[in-house]
Amino acid sequence: MSLNRLKWVSRFVKSFTVTLPVSLFFIIISMTDASAQRTHTVYYEGTEHELHVYRIYGKEPGKTMMLIGGIQGDEPGGFLSADLYADFALSKGNLIVVPRANFLSILQNRRQINEDMNRKFADEGEINYEAKVVTVLKKLIAESDCLLNLHDGSGFYSETYDGPMRNPTRFGQSIIADSETFTVERTGKVINLGETGRFVAAEINKNITEKDYSFHFNNHRTSAQDSIHKEQRKSATYYALTVCGIPAFGIESSKELPLELKILHHNLAINAFMKYFGIKPETPGINLDAPDFKYLVISVNNMLPVVVENQQTLCVSPGDEIAVTHIEANYERGLSADLIDYGSANDVRKKIKITKPTRIVVRKDSYPCGSVYIALTGKSGSSSNTPLSTIKSSSAGPQYLLFKVKVNQEEIIVKNYSHITIVEGDLFEIVDVLSGFSDPSALQVNFKGYVADEGYNQGEDRGFVIDTGKDLWERYSIDGKGKTYQTIVTLNDEIVGKLFIDLEKPSLNYILVKMGDEKVYVSPGETIDIDRKKTFKIVDIITDIKSGAEPQAFITGPSFHRKIEKGEVIAFNEMMNAMGKSSGPFQIEIKREKINLGKMDLRWL
């Protein structure tokens, strides 16, 4: 283990460090399947409590498992394990991964900031950022078939008292549930939490040679009058079980173990749960390389951003406004940029006026991994006439080339030669290419398969908004089938960069309808039984479309086509009487503009 890597690991280990066999680090390694479907959604973007959610869809349908890490920020085993699963590929089933539910507490390496986020699920207490994040988590839990909340717990759980660190009040090395069994009132379904938890513990223990580190099922009996864990009635797992009616478990690796062993045990637990629920994975490795920060992309006074490398200095004028728009490192998640004496703990994408020299500290979670310095030069407002940085140029062209693009008006920075996945029908725009080493105007940027003006194709496509549902020429896609397109950047007729755009067909997961007082989830191809005496409305349409053109619902039938707004109350009896019909083959169709997402037949009772 290198010195830097050792520092990185030991940064999170309070008690001791043990050198583990190298084989443990890479027991679970796989290649990423490029065909796996993933979405990445950011909530509360630009705030200290920014929340990143990753959805991974398998090639075959199956159960959906949700992973929550970092709900308490001083438990790195949980959030670093969850982080590995954000890059998953699945052959069957789905994952919803929230690696860092409480990012601000992770940055400060504290259990909580205002309140314990894992005690905010009972709709009590003040409205703070923890409550806002929990609102999102509740919605995600409602989309899931099982919840795992990943923690690092104190000591070692044991059914008997074997000492102050190993007894029934400890949490470490246990699979926690709120009950042995639970009956869902609205369906009568019995959830066997104890059976599942013991199966998982046995699966984990097959891979643990040290008996003292074995996992055990830990029934908190949360609803019982004599439970010693009544505080768990406000937790995520209790909410998932009692409100959403899904099995939910807390996974507790012991805080007394080295970080890499905590992560390994969390991974073993997650894999065992996936096995139990029939989710077939390609499992990630335990990547604990020391964070390697390379550069920041910084915009000054809303001008074209520049690339500033680790330990370099950006020169600005007093009163200039800067914004960090991108952090490049060997990790994609858990990164923050802290402008010392300005802003907050995480100043990414915030516009900040500079009045004195300062430093931008880049962190991976709570670990500092590099700095960029801000110096003052010239008079106020003179930045447009002075160099913004002293970065050495390369005669071979741009050393760092980034793409500044918009997807449905949301601006993002994309690395050179990378793939970006969007949904067919999304609006896509190449805003510009960024480099601290070359004049972007000397570059030509050509989206192959798009022509802004068919009468005069200049081969320069920056600034044009492309409707990926109708503006692209399929025969110019890389595969010839309209699945992958490329944008090529050239300098003096030499290719210096490429961006690959992968198009996915929009997918309808299900719709939520309400008939009278009853809510029903309906998937594409299923039949909806309609009691015409009851009112009907579509409450929500759940797709993989994150932004842009929203899906629309229509009632269709013989010589009939009518749009339905979400929340609109439909009285089928009146509608059918007005049409002079008593029955007929009717459907609900869901479309995104001209793209059919799915339909459900209506059956009259």
The 10s digit of each residue's pLDDT in 501-545 is 999 888 888 888 888 888 888 888 888 888 888 888 888 888 877
Among the residue ranges 80-94, 119-133, 379-393, the one predicted with the least confidence is 379-393
Q: Up-side HSE of residue 387: CA atoms within 13 Å toward CB?
A: 11
**pLDDT for 472 beyond 80:** yes
Burial class of residue 573 in the structure, from the number of CB atoms within 10 Å of its CB (0-12 exposed, 13-18 middle, 19+ buried): middle
| Mean pLDDT on 421-434 | 89
Minimal CA–CA distance to 326: which of 302, 289, 294, 368? 294
Residue 481 phi, psi (nearest 5): -120, 5
Q: In CATH, what is the architecture of 293-385?
A: Sandwich (2.60)
Contact status, residue 359 vs residue 371, Cβ threshold 8 Å = yes
- Provide the token pair at 150: 């990943």
Does the pLDDT of residue 389 top 60, yes or no? no
| Amino acid 379: pLDDT | 60
Angle between helices 259-276 and 193-205 (to 10 degrees): 130
Query: Which token pair is 68?
Result: 């929550």
How far is Cα 246 from Cα 243, in angstroms, rounded to an integer? 8
Start-end ranges of CATH 3.40.630.10 in the chain?
A: 3-282
Helix H or strand E encompassing 216: strand 216-219
Which regions of the chain carry the CATH code 2.60.40? Answer: 293-385, 402-504
Q: For the segment 238-249, what is each residue's pLDDT rounded down to a tens digit?
A: 999 999 999 999
Q: Say if CB 468 and CB 425 are below 8 A apart.
A: yes
Distances (CA, A) of 159 to 58, 315, 595: 38, 62, 57
Residue-wise pLDDT for 70-114, tens only, equals: 999 899 999 999 999 998 888 889 999 999 999 999 988 899 999
Average pLDDT, the chain: 84
3-282: CATH topology is Aminopeptidase (3.40.630)
Q: Which residues pair with 415 in a beta bridge?
A: 402
Please state the φ and ψ torsions of residue 580, each to the nearest 5 degrees: 70, 30
Give pLDDT tens digits for 10-38: 444 333 222 222 222 222 222 333 344 77
Q: Does domain 402-504 have CATH number 1.25.40?
A: no
**d(C-alpha 561, C-alpha 586), whole Å:** 10
The pLDDT tens digits of the residues spanning 593-602 come to 778 889 999 8
What single letter denotes the amino acid at residue 7? K
Mean pLDDT of 420-424: 89
In this structure, what are the phi and psi dihedrals at residue 284, rounded to the nearest 5 degrees? -80, 165
Give the Å distances, CA to CA, from 368 to 327, 345, 361: 13, 12, 7
- 74-88, 154-168, 284-298, range with the lowest pLDDT: 284-298
